[in-house]
């Protein structure tokens, strides 16, 4: 593990939340992205080394839409940057950690990502990510 890459926050209305977080954080480093594969629309705020990622659903059957329906808006995931997602998944699987993604997928910020199962990690949804 290299560092905390970003913190993901689930929001219903991206434009409204972006306006709010612009007031909180300043809006000079906002980056927008849609990850169709994950069914999410993202606004990322860069704060020094760290990123806060506002994540809204683009369709009702996306994981983030289901999360919001079940638990409401709020902190959604913690992303940890690693050198090699694939080898980390193999290592964690051997350690008995449950995986949502058995292999890396395309994520935001031109990274490969994979999620671990929150049942294995004290209820925290953890994303591993690797710069391509
Ligand atoms: Zn993320």
Using one digit for the tens of pLDDT, what is the confidence trace for 64-102?
Answer: 999 999 999 999 999 999 999 999 999 999 999 999 999
Closest CA to 75 of 126, 112, 5, 20: 126
Per-residue model confidence (pLDDT) at position 26: 82
Residues in Cβ contact with 23 at an 8 Å cutoff, skipping those fewer than 6 apart: none
Q: For the whole model, what pTM was predicted?
A: 0.91
Q: What is the spatial order of strands in the sheet that 74-81 belongs to?
A: 30-35, 40-47, 50-57, 3-10, 74-81, 126-131, 111-115, 105-106
Band of pLDDT at residue 108, cut at 50, 70 and 90: confident
User: How many Å lie between the centroid of ligand 1 and the Cα of residue 54?
Assistant: 9
Task: Spell out the domain ranges in the chain.
Answer: 3-131
The Å distance, Cα 6 to ligand 1 centre, comes to 6
**pLDDT, tens only, 19-77:** 999 999 887 788 999 988 889 999 999 988 889 999 999 999 999 999 999 999 999 99
Residue 27, phi-psi category: left (phi > 0), alpha (psi -120 to 50), beta (remainder):
alpha
Mean pLDDT computed over 9-23: 95
In 104-128, which positions are buried (b, 16+ CB within 10 angstroms) versus exposed (e)?
A: beebbbebbbbbbeeebeeeebbbb
C-beta separation of 65 from 59 below 8 A: yes
Cα–ligand 1 centroid distance for 50 (angstroms): 12
Compute the distance between CA of residue 46 and CA of residue 85 in angstroms, rounded to an integer.
23
- The CATH number of the domain covering residues in 3-131: 3.10.180.10
How remote is the CA of residue 14 from the centroid of ligand 1, in Å? 15
How far is the C-alpha of 38 from the C-alpha of 62, rounded, in Å? 7
């Amino acid at each position: 593990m290299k560092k905390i890459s970003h913190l993901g926050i689930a929001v219903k209305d991206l434009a409204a939340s972006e306006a709010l977080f612009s007031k909180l954080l300043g809006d000079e480093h906002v980056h927008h992205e849609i990850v169709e594969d994950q069914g999410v629309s993202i606004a990322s705020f860069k704060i020094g080394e760290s990123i806060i990622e506002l994540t809204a659903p683009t369709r009702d059957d996306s994981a983030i839409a289901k999360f919001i329906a079940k638990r409401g808006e709020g902190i959604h995931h913690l992303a940890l940057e690693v050198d090699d997602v694939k080898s980390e998944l193999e290592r964690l699987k051997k350690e008995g950690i449950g995986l949502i993604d058995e292999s890396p997928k395309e994520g935001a910020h031109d990274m490969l990502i994979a999620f671990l199962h929150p049942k294995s990690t004290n209820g925290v949804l953890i994303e591993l990510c690797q710069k391509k």
